[in-house]
Each structure stands twice: as C-alpha cells, then as structure tokens.
Amino acid sequence: MDLLLDAVCVVDTEGRFTFISAAGERIFGYLPEEMVGRPMIDFVFHEDRARTLQVVDEILDGHLLPYFENRYVRKDGQVVHIMWSARWSETDQVRVAVARDITERKRAESLQAALYAISDAAHAAEDLVALLQSIHRILGELLPAANFFVALYDKDKDELTFPYHVDECGEAPEPQKLDPTTRIAEVIRSGQVLLVPANCGQGLVGRNPSDTGRDSSNWLGVPLCAKRGVIGVLVVQSDCAETPYTNKDIELLQFAAGQITPVIERKQMEAWLQYIAQHDPLTGLPNRELFHDRLQTALRLAERNQTRLAVLYLDLDKFKEVNDTLGHHVGDLLLQEAARRLRQCVRSSDTIGRVGGDEFLVLLNGISLREQVLSIAEEIRISLDRPFLLAAHPVHISLSIGVALYPEHGDDHMQLIRHADEAMYDAKKSGGNHSRISTRPSLKK
C-alpha cells in the first residue's frame, strides 16, 4: 500500500482520519501521524467544505462516488486539487477513500482555458481598459493578482502612464517621469522579466509602492516588447510571502503581455492618426478643422449662456524674409517657438490654431470686456516682438493682429474668422506690429 502513488485514507463516523498511507505526505504535505485523529474537514479548502460534507452524506447513504473532486490545503499553504474514489464500509463503520493529486492536470486545463480566453479577449478588444480588466480577472484565477497594473512608457517624453492600475494600498499614480532607480525602469532598460521575492530588501522606502514594490511583497514584472522597443511593463504583486511567483506564472504573464502589446500598439496608432488628422505636425497646434470645430462649440455655449468670446487672427510680419535669407529650417524653428510663446499668453481654456504658413488663430472664451481682449492681444504682440535665437541666428519679427468679437461682429464661426482676418490685413497695411478690432457689424442670419 505504501508503494502506491495515490493515498489511501480511512475516516471514522466522527469524520476523523484513522489511517493515511505513505503517499499522503507527498499529496498533503503532512506526515500521516500529523493528520490521524484530526477532522478531515479541517484540511479541506474553505470554499469546498459545504460541498464536501454534502458528498459525505451521500457516501454514508451507501452511494459509491468514484470521481469526486475537491481542494485541500497543504501544510505549506498551497492548494491542491484531489480526485477521490470513496465508499462506506458498513461492517467497519468507516469511509475508505483513495486520493489522487490532479493539481497539475487542473492547472494545465486552467492554463489552456486562460490562454484561449486571453487570446479571444485580445482579438475582440475595442477598449484597452476593458481588455486589461478581462485579463486581470483571468490571471486572478491562476495566480495571486490582487495587485495588478500596466505601466506604459513614452520614450520621447521619458514618461510613465498607468492606463490600468489596481493596488490594495493606493490609487493609480499620476503620469510621472521614469525614475531610473525603480524596478519598472530596470525592466524597461533590460527588456527582461524581473522577479523579486518578498522580503528581499529591494523595496525602496518613500517611493510609490506601485512603481517599486513593497519589501513585504512578491513582485513580478514582464516587459511589453514591441518592434520599436519596450513600451511598458505588466506587473503583478502579492503580499502573501507563502505563495511566491513561479516560472509557470512568468510564462503565463509573458503570454498575456504578448497579447496585450499589439492591442496597445494599435490603440496608440489610432490615437496618433486621430491626433495628426486634427493638429499641425510642425507646431502641435490644432489645425484649421479642429479650430473651426472648437469655435463652433464655443459659439453654441456662448449663445446658451449669454457670454462673449473673441477671435484673434495673427500673421507674422517679415516671415518670408526669414525663410528667404536663413532657410526654411530656421523658418520652421521660428514657427515652433512662436507657437510656444503663444501658449504662454493664453489660458488652458482658450484655443490656438495654426491655419496657414505663418498665420494663427486664437479663440478667447468667456471674455466679457473689449479691454481684456486688447490687453491679451498686446501681451501676445509684445511676446513675439522679443528677439528669437534660432540655430545660432538672432531673428526679430513683428506681429499683425485682427480681432473680432462675439456677438458684435458675428454669430457664425466663418463670419467671425473673416472679420478678424480683414482686421488683421488692415493692421498689416498700416505698417504692422499692432492690433486692430474689426469695424464690420454682425450679419444676422
């Protein structure tokens, strides 16, 4: 009997073990003498106890149950799946059962199901957050994943963002610069899996736990590897030191990362295509179409709320001379620097658009007084009147500005832009380097 790979167990009428064969130690982790005399139900995984006691009643009624499965908790805390063949001996007044450890088989089945589920979720994904929620749920059935997050890395900005972040100890971090001392940075830099067991001394005091891990936690980070390099890290973290992550957990997480990465790349490409369709590629400002859309939205809100707004049409004086004498490269630098200075002169609620070679539009929302508009226009003019140093070349330009106000000069977006444009040309014709308000009356529809 002791040579059998399966364990033979005998349980009395009070539900206590009276005998366990030698294989019991390999399956349950306890010596037979540590289990004999103790209630069988004490070793059953808590979620399976009610179902197990129900099956015991069936056995006591004389039913033979050759294929009953439940879970036990080993001495080391691991959960094992057991397949039982059991019957009641009326003569001896005991239950005799044979236990077979099917943990590996169950894990293989669960792993295969998880791989299919992750693959299906990735192919059906329309929303990145929904995909990560699904994968989090799938992984949570196979490994400790109460703390799970994805950190994406923007190499150009050297910045981390967290599109999905679940941590029992805190909220999702704000976008942040990549700290080279963190575990995430190590994974991104090396492109390799990083497994840090609990209490290894690698936790960094005073740092965000979701970025570096806590000393008491098991931390496993897997890189998200794209063609252009590592674009992020998939991380699971567990505060249960008794259940460290294994090589099988690494393989599962790597598979998940391989499914997630193409979806992230696709979403990033879609976002980029949408961005470039609405923005000027040189300055990053909204282009004509996006500016018109925002102006129309602002006009609807202004009409509803009985508020005012202003449109400024800007043209760089002497820009053609810069291009002709110093080259288009310097001209491009001038436009980029001009856009940067313009951003500093307006509020985040306002909109700046580049609508031509050296022409810009500015939408000022909620401006109630004409004097306020002229003050902002003057601030813009002075800002761009300051000398530029571009590719070691000192450059000086001036600015002509035309102003149209809502509702005085129009209640239609094209009408306002046209009147501001005409006022700008009047300013340019009279020498440039100043602002002029439109004199055209509103043409009601």
In a domain, 321, yes or no: yes
Residue 402 has pLDDT above 60, yes or no: yes
In a domain, 2, yes or no: no
> What average pLDDT does range 418-441 have in this prediction?
91
User: 233 and 361: one domain?
Assistant: no
> What average pLDDT does range 31-35 have in this prediction?
95
Report the share of the chain in percent with pLDDT over 70.
94
> What average pLDDT does range 119-124 have in this prediction?
81
C-beta separation of 220 from 237 below 8 A: yes
Q: Where is 196: in which H helix or E strand? A: strand 194-196
The model's confidence at residue 200, banded by pLDDT at 50, 70 and 90, is low
User: 116 and 243: one domain?
Assistant: yes
Residue 212 has pLDDT above 70, yes or no: no
User: 113 and 258: one domain?
Assistant: yes
Residue 208 has pLDDT above 60, yes or no: no
In a domain, 86, yes or no: yes
C-beta separation of 405 from 373 below 8 A: yes
User: 22 and 97: one domain?
Assistant: yes
In a domain, 235, yes or no: yes
How many Cβ atoms are within 10 Å of 135's Cβ, its own excluded? 27
> What average pLDDT does range 152-176 have in this prediction?
88
Strands 309-317 and 351-354: unpaired
> What average pLDDT does range 127-138 have in this prediction?
86
Residue 100 has pLDDT above 50, yes or no: yes
User: 262 and 318: one domain?
Assistant: no
In a domain, 281, yes or no: no
Give the C-alpha distances (Å, rounded to integers) separating 149 from 158, 198, 247: 19, 18, 20
The model's confidence at residue 207, banded by pLDDT at 50, 70 and 90, is very low
Which of 392, 390, 360 has the alpha carbon at shortest distance from 377?
A: 360
The CATH number linked to 315 is 3.30.70.270
Could you list the residue range(s) of the whole structural domain that residue 331 is in?
288-437
User: 69 and 40: one domain?
Assistant: yes
* C-alpha to C-alpha distance for 65 and 56, rounded to whole angstroms: 10
- Quick check: bond before 173 cis, omega within 30? no
> What average pLDDT does range 432-442 have in this prediction?
85
- What token pair was written down for 67? 């294929």
Residue 126 has pLDDT above 80, yes or no: no
User: 407 and 313: one domain?
Assistant: yes
> What average pLDDT does range 329-346 have in this prediction?
95
Alpha helices in 2-102, H assignment, sequence order: 23-28, 32-35, 49-60
In a domain, 294, yes or no: yes
In a domain, 445, yes or no: no
pLDDT of residue 199: 66
Q: Is 5 helix (H, G, I), strand (E, B) or coil?
A: coil
pLDDT of residue 107: 81
The CATH number linked to 58 is 3.30.450.20
DSSP state letters, 126-162: S-HHHHHHHHHHHHHTTS--SEEEEEEEETTTTEEEE
Which of residues 101, 136, 166 is at a domain's end? 101
User: 165 and 89: one domain?
Assistant: no
pLDDT of residue 60: 86
pLDDT of residue 204: 40
Q: Which residues are catalytic?
A: 358
Residue 291 has pLDDT above 50, yes or no: yes
Average pLDDT, the chain: 89
The CATH number linked to 150 is 3.30.450.40
User: 258 and 120: one domain?
Assistant: yes
User: 111 and 248: one domain?
Assistant: yes
pLDDT one-digit tens code per residue, 348-375: 999 999 998 999 999 999 888 899 999 9
Please give the single-letter amino acid code of residue 376.
I
Give the C-alpha distances (Å, rounded to integers) separating 395 from 234, 316, 391: 48, 12, 10
User: 25 and 138: one domain?
Assistant: no
In a domain, 211, yes or no: yes
Which of residues 77, 101, 125 is at a domain's end? 101
> What average pLDDT does range 162-168 have in this prediction?
88
C-beta separation of 409 from 440 below 8 A: yes
* C-alpha to C-alpha distance for 403 and 333, rounded to whole angstroms: 26
> What average pLDDT does range 268-288 have in this prediction?
92
How many Cβ atoms are within 10 Å of 163's Cβ, its own excluded? 16
How many Cβ atoms are within 10 Å of 36's Cβ, its own excluded? 16
Residue 216 has pLDDT above 80, yes or no: no
**DSSP code of residue 207:** S
The model's confidence at residue 145, banded by pLDDT at 50, 70 and 90, is confident
Structural domains in the chain (count)? 3
The model's confidence at residue 445, banded by pLDDT at 50, 70 and 90, is very low
User: 32 and 174: one domain?
Assistant: no
Which of residues 62, 86, 101 is at a domain's end? 101
> What average pLDDT does range 416-421 have in this prediction?
96
The model's confidence at residue 437, banded by pLDDT at 50, 70 and 90, is very high
pLDDT of residue 117: 84
Residue 431 has pLDDT above 50, yes or no: yes
Q: Which residue has the higher pLDDT, 377 or 214?
A: 377
> What average pLDDT does range 18-27 have in this prediction?
95
